[in-house]
Structures are given as C-alpha cells and as structure tokens.
Amino acid sequence: MEKAAKIASNTREKALEALDQDKNEPIRWLLGNALKQHAEVSEAPHFLLDALAGTRTGTLVAWNADIEQYRAALENPELAPKKAEADLRSDGIDAEDKLRAVVAEIMSVITLSRAGFRQFRVLLPQKSSTPDFEAVDAAGTGARIEVKNLREPDDIVRTVAAAHWKKRSAAKPGKYNFKAVLSHSHRGSLTADAKKRICSIIDSLPGVRKPIDEVLDGGVHIRVEKAEQFASRVGQRDSFFLDMSGRGKPGILVVSGITSENLVTQISEVQSLFLKALRRVFESVPKFFGDSFTNEQPGTNVMALRWEPPDFFVSEEMMQFVATKIENLFADFQLPLKVVIFVDPEIGWELIKRYS
C-alpha cells in the first residue's frame, strides 16, 4: 500500500507541474484549482491527471483545444473556473464522473455555438434550480440551457475491461505497470459470464506471457496480449492505436474491429438512447418548469445531452429521431422544450497544431 501511495503521489506531482506548461494554459485556467483538489484526495487512476503526468498525447491536445473554444464563446468567462471548481469538488471516488459532466458542458457550448447560438453566459448554482447557461439562439431568442452527460453502457467489452483494469491497477500499480491490448469485434451487451471472464483474464495478465485468444459466453471472440505482442502481430501500419493512447503508458487499450453490423442501426440501440435521454431530461425538469408551469419566462428551454456512444459509427438520424420524440412528448402537454443530442465535435487543425 505504501508503494502504491508513493507511485500515485509522484504521478500527481508530475501532473501539477505539467499544468504550468504554456500548452496546458487552457486546462490550468478552467480546471487548475479543481485538479489540485483532486490530486490531494484521490490516489485512484484519474484520466486527466494521469495524462498530464505522462508524455503528451491526443488527450491533452483535445482538452486544451476544447477549453479554448469554450472560453472564446463565453460572455462572462471569469465565472467558468468558479463554476468548474464548485462542480468538481470531490471526495476522490467520483472525481472522473464529475469531470465527464464538465466535459459535457464544454462540448455543449461548442456544439450549440456552431448551430448559431451565441452570447453564452455561465450561471452559478443558486438556492433555486438554475440551468447551466443562458444564451441567444440562432433566431435571436433568449435560451436557458441545461446540460447532461449520457454515459456509455457499462456492460460492453470496452467499459468492462477499462473498469476492471482501473480497479486492479489502483490496488496494485506495480504489477500493472505495462500496456495491454484487447481486440474484439463484438457489438452490444455482454452476458454476466462473459463479463466475469474478461475480469479474470485481466486479473491473470501480470503473470501471463502468451496471448489469450478465446470465445466468451455468447460467442464473443476476444484476444488479449501485451502491447509488444500486438505491435509485432499487426505491424507498424496497424499499431498506430498504441501511439494514440501512449505506447509506453500503462493501461489497457481496447481495439474494436469494424464489420457490416456497425453500419446498421438496431432497434435496441434506439430504445437504449431514448430511455437514457428521457431519464436525464426528467431529472432536469425543475430547471425549466415549476410545479405549476405558467410559461411566464419568455425564451427557449434547451436540454443539451452529450452522448458517449457505444460504437465508433454514430447515426445523426437516430439522435435527431430520439430528440424529436422527447420534444413531442413535452409538446403534447404544451411544455416547450428543445432537445439537442450530440457527440463531441471535431477540433480544427489550427487548434491541434497550437496545443500539440
């Protein structure tokens, strides 16, 4: 335990030192105080602190570029760090979940600004229910904006493997000080037995020398191997995934093959997104509507939902279909609500160059 604590402490020190670098100025501006608080209370893996402590990868480039766009869109940027610090205060266990919520706010402002919204104003938490932002929409109408994050499913190959690796590496960082690669082509949820087997494979990896290639319950074919074995097998051209994630950085990289099934939207996916989005919208109803709604507040009510999709390919039509169905549900009761479901927007080349 003492060794694990020492490793975590060294990582946190490197991360906080990296915050002072010029290319990390946007992260320092928005999240500096919050990350220092996280570093003090959490010894568990933390994707942003770990990224700051390691060699510079696409993660840091994206975070800095996105925060730069977010800051440029705000009318009152001085309040953004205060809101982030309050929203991100953590006991350590929920640090990454709270970071995802802040990511959703950043991405929503970027996405909506590209759709014609402007004059975004950060709203600090009040005693009464308050949305996250105010803005003006493309038609010049005032808008109240509440943001929520739609987490990716916790029962797919990628999330099961990542969660268990995080748990094991936090408990025994010295044993999991290497990069592993899990390759698969499965789409959808795993059975309980399949999830259990993935976890047991990860448990055994520190002492395993040969790749593990097997078919799990439900016909799920996976291959788990050390990064060097993966690179040797696929060759330099196809091992760029390792470079994107940090070839020498400890962790598990999940590589998903693309098949014709990825091009077809399944009804279960639509149902899953609808239920997940509807649940988050209902949670946010008090931000827009009181117990006795009178529509005295002019303007547009906007529910911005950042979706973490389970697959690489994303259907814009599916997101719009689900958003419209939810809007119509509220419209049936004359409750005006605009729903925007989106995935993270692309980053311009100039910003990539600036923060690489």
Contact 165, 251 (CB under 8 A): yes
What local confidence, expressed as pLDDT, does residue 232 receive? 87
pTM over 0.95: no
C-beta neighbour count of 20 within 10 angstroms: 10
Retrieve residue 168's tokens.
Answer: 């094991």
Contact 120, 133 (CB under 8 A): yes
What local confidence, expressed as pLDDT, does residue 320 receive? 95
C-beta neighbour count of 151 within 10 angstroms: 14
DSSP single-letter state for residue 247: T
**97: closest CA among 56, 154, 145?**
154
120-134 residue pLDDT tens: 999 998 877 889 999
Retrieve residue 50's tokens.
Answer: 């770990």
Contact 25, 65 (CB under 8 A): no
What's the average pLDDT block by block, 10 residues per block, for the chain (356 residues)? 55 89 96 89 78 86 96 98 91 81 97 98 86 96 96 88 90 90 88 96 94 94 92 75 69 77 66 92 89 64 93 84 96 94 94 93
Retrieve residue 100's tokens.
Answer: 């995802």
Retrieve residue 20's tokens.
Answer: 């002072």
Contact 15, 53 (CB under 8 A): yes
C-beta neighbour count of 268 within 10 angstroms: 10
How many angstroms separate the CA atoms of 279 and 270, rounded? 14
Q: Which residue is listed with tokens 């074919």?
A: 221
How many angstroms separate the CA atoms of 200 and 189, rounded? 18
Please write down the HEC assignment for all residues of 262-302.
Answer: HHCCCHHHHHHHHHHHHHHHHHHHHHHCCCCCCCCCCCEEE
How many angstroms separate the CA atoms of 263 and 261, rounded? 5
What local confidence, expressed as pLDDT, does residue 265 receive? 60
What local confidence, expressed as pLDDT, does residue 8 receive? 57
What local confidence, expressed as pLDDT, does residue 185 receive? 87
- 301: which strand partners? 144
What local confidence, expressed as pLDDT, does residue 243 receive? 65
